[in-house]
Chains A and B, each alone.
Chain A
Amino acid sequence: MKFTLKIWRQQGPDDKGRFVTYQAHEVSPDMSFLEMLDSVNQGLIVKGEEPVAFEHDCREGICGSCSLVINGVPHGPERGIATCQLYMRRFSDGATITIEPWRARAFPIIKDLVVDRRALDRVMQAGGYISVNTGGAVDGNVVLIGKDQAETAMDAASCIGCGACVAACKNASAMLFVAAKVSHLASLPQGKPERTRRVTAMMEAMDREGFGACGNQYECEAVCPKSISVRFIATLNREYLRAGVVESGAPTVPEAPHAESD
């Protein structure tokens, strides 16, 4: 098979960037999309040109590194997979394929197709955790969690943090990402004590990082490699509204006694 590739090249964040056209020859239908790019890059290196920078690591759809917008769709034409799980047999021979990076203000381009997604980490740092110390946890079976509840938590927790939801969203919103984390923790008893603070802090962080607001268009769900449901966005909204009510009416939190002068 052979393909014409229109690939976004950009030296760095300050460069304007442009499309460059490459020809991919002798592509086997059994090649993955990334292997096809590998082979294009091998050709460029031998010619002394700089290869196309793109992100990849596990190549089995779980690390969330790969991040290509292929013909206008994050992770390409197939549903429920990451770019690395896309195979060339999905394309027709001789096709022209346009490859762009995730585009969002919160994801500045580092080079070519590689973007900086640390904004997602910072949203997590704002509250995407349960603050328990290592050690001293009670036995895992002390708190019973119904199977359905555990399954719901797992549905939400399967997010791989790739940012395709942001890339697909008209508003470059990270709502599905935040919703997945908030819903995962809010649906487990262990996550309940901090649910109020968590949801408020994460939502504020999302705004601070420059993501847009949700338009309820659900493009995110359609491109999510783990097909995470937008019903978690409703859960997030509900958690947020609940937090607003709880926060404004809550009695003052007494200062916890300090064990040390820290």
Chain B
Amino acid sequence: MTTLDSKVPSGPLETKWDRHRFSEKLVSPNNKRRIKIIVVGTGLAGASAASTLGQLGYEVECFCFQDSPRRAHSIAAQGGINAAKNYQDDGDSVARLFYDTIKGGDFRSREANVYRLAQVSTQIIDQCVALGVPFAREYGGQLANRSFGGVQVSRTFYCRGQTGQQLLLGAYSALCWQIERGQVTMRPRTEMLDLIVVDGHARGIVVRDLVSGHVTAHTAHAVVLATGGYSNVYYLSTNASGSNVTATYRAWKQGAAFANPSFTQIHPTAIPPSETHQAKLTLMSESLRNDGRLWVPKVPSGRRPPNDIPSSERDYFLERRYPQFGNLVPRDVASRAVKTLCDEGRGVGPGGHGVYLDFTDVIEQQGLDVVRERYGNLFDMYQRITGEDAYRVPMRIYPAPHYTMGGLWVDYNLMSTIPGLFVIGEANFADHGANRLGASSLMQGLADGYFILPYTIGHYLATTKITPIAEYHRESREALERVASRVTKLLGGQGRRTAASFHREVGRILWDHCGMARCEGGLKRTLQSIPALREEFWRDVAVPGSGETFNQELEYAGRVADFLEFAELICHDALHREESCGAHFREEHQTPDGEPKRDDTRFSHVAAWEYRENGPPILHKEPLTFEFVQPTARSYE
């Protein structure tokens, strides 16, 4: 039976973290080198955690499925990283970053966690500068900031449009140092396929070497999962093709609670899918909405070129519905508006999946050169992908699944419901509530990895008696067998359908019924159709090749198999939450003019789901209490 104890320290918000750190037990330096920690994933959270733990003196074994730790998907983050430095003296503070994040998350996150995040945000910037991250600078040599994601202060630090890349390369270089020192053993091209739990404690993982196909058990004193988000469950998303849910999902099946799995952020400005073979959606920076105007024809006009449609026949729908914020409403609001229009058949482009993002006015007012300087690289990227010149023809955009706020449930110490299993970065559920603000994911990943986990894991290791176990311990053998039999099962079929076709199908179902808008009927139908699809998968999937070699299709099929199970969990969560909050929009719960209606009396809680072998998952609720801020309605009208 899972119990949810958030372990949030009592007392004033501002000093919780400091007092907590002081009360934590420490591991003596001599003992650290006898303690082994497994870190899975090398994105911002994983790489920063592994390098810091190695630097502290622990023996770290670090795994990633990519060919190099530097390729983890954090690398693709464009915009920037928030920090409450208040370098611009524009009224920013830890308290304001805290409040913006809590409010942006629609009051579905823990106050103490978010406050701590805002507190350590400033340290992150200093640390990254020390590591040689080439942040943008002013002429005077100070760090530059920009405002991002509709907040009123400039607190976003950036490296051109490649902030995630530079932050990850910083963490990766720190990791390289620890590898060179022998503190971290790096195992690239190795995928975690199961968790080893001994006497209720996480003690290791089972991995498959993706080159040799060998399946091995690795044991340790504690396991850290930093395996990212699962937007790829929707098939088309902004995630990398390798991003998957397998590690966290397998941990769930071993007893870790999964929190708020249905909270998925749909980013409004992606390039629309153009044809059925499309494998991913490419994000265009949110900053485009600063100058571009979104519109659709008032009446569907078929293939009529957009420039032939006079402005009287255009519906600038965001400006019409939200005159205050116009085209700059938050991501979820914009995405939903676009989807509603497209569902009404008013979308433009192939399949009606898209709306225009028009720069004609700003080009007329400020000149082509200004627009070119501001967005040139984005327009180039758009042209490369679509073959269209956005300086002359309006862009088409469409929402895309982007970031998952849900993840494994963790307490204030970032430990899951399985003692010894820590979860950091996007893989946990902790800090973003029901919706994440722009430039906050990089902040959270590095906060967890550099500054939070290294403290909290020490306390666990210092206070828990951990007896050594052999790699062929009974639980290890069982986990190895689970993995081996699954590999055999995947390869054994005589099917005729590709794993991708199943992936596309489950993604389509989720997108339609558990995407930007959800309703009871649709979710219930989905909960019936997914098991049927899953059965068909196991009956009819074709996985060629063998398990003893490099076999990308086998890797992929295994991930799809997990998505096919996990999709159900998402729907259970979405079905239970009979309110609209943040990225979660239930059609039954909206105001007459289509605005989301939150229900704080019934749903001010974290929904943490426990796995049950036969039957639906069990819901546990961690109540969210707000001592320091008052939940208010998120209104953008």
Give me the interface of A with B, judged by CB distance under 8 Å. Answer: 11-12, 28-32, 34-36, 38-39, 41-42, 44-46, 48-51, 53, 55-60, 62-65, 81, 85, 87, 89, 110-111, 114, 116-118, 120-121, 124-135, 137-141, 143-147, 149-150, 153-154, 157-158, 160-161, 184-185, 188, 190-191, 260, 262
Contacts and interface: CB of A to CB of B under 8 A. Distances in A.
B155 interface: no
Contact of B141 (A57, A64, A147): A147
Interface string B257-294: 00000000000000000110111101100000000000
Contact of B275 (A31, A56, A143): A31
20 contacts: A30-B274, A42-B500, A45-B498, A45-B543, A46-B496, A59-B240, A59-B241, A59-B282, A60-B283, A63-B76, A65-B71, A117-B67, A121-B186, A128-B173, A129-B131, A133-B55, A134-B127, A140-B135, A143-B129, A191-B132
A28 B180 contact: no
Nearest to B545: A50
Interface stretch (B161-169, B299-307, B321-329): B161-169
Nearest to A117: B67
A57 B66 contact: yes
A38 B277 contact: yes
Nearest to A181: B173
Contacts of B177: 125, 129, 131
Given A30-B275, A135-B127, A185-B132, A62 B162 contact: yes
Given A57-B240, A89-B387, A130-B131, A121 B498 contact: no
A144 to B, nearest CB: 3
A185 B159 CA distance: 15
B54 to A, nearest CB: 10
B73 A124 contact: no
Interface of B: 29, 48, 51-52, 55, 66-71, 73, 75-76, 85, 87, 123, 125-132, 134-143, 159-160, 162, 164-166, 169, 172-174, 176-177, 179-180, 186, 188, 211, 240-242, 274-275, 277-280, 282-283, 381, 384-387, 450-451, 454, 496-498, 500-501, 542-545, 549-550, 552-553
A72 B542 CA distance: 33
Nearest to A114: B550
A118 B137 CA distance: 33
Contacts of B188: 118, 121
Contacts of B127: 132, 134-135, 137
Contacts of B186: 121
A59 B281 CA distance: 9
B279 A38 contact: yes
A130 B173 contact: yes
A141 B283 CA distance: 31
B123 A135 contact: yes
Contact of A50 (B29, B123, B165, B544): B544
A140 B542 CA distance: 53
A154 B451 contact: no
Given A30-B387, A51-B553, A188-B134, A140 B126 contact: yes
Contacts of A111: 549-550
B360 to A, nearest CB: 24
A89 B543 CA distance: 31
Contacts of B542: 45-46, 48
B349 to A, nearest CB: 11
A53 B377 CA distance: 31
B134 A154 contact: yes
For the complex of A and B, list the 4 residue pairs with the smallest distance between their C-beta atoms, beginning with the closest.
A144-B141, A129-B173, A137-B130, A153-B134
A138 B143 contact: no
Given A50-B544, A59-B280, A29 B387 contact: yes
Contacts of A35: 277-279
Nearest to A116: B67
A200 to B, nearest CB: 14
A128 B500 CA distance: 38
Contacts of B275: 28, 30-31
Nearest to A38: B279
A147 B137 CA distance: 5
Nearest to B500: A42
Contacts of B242: 57
B131 A190 contact: yes
Nearest to A52: B552
Nearest to A81: B384
Contacts of A146: 137, 139, 141
Given A50-B545, A87-B385, 18 more contacts: A38-B277, A55-B67, A62-B76, A64-B71, A85-B385, A89-B387, A116-B211, A121-B68, A134-B52, A134-B127, A135-B127, A137-B130, A140-B129, A141-B143, A145-B137, A153-B134, A160-B75, A184-B134
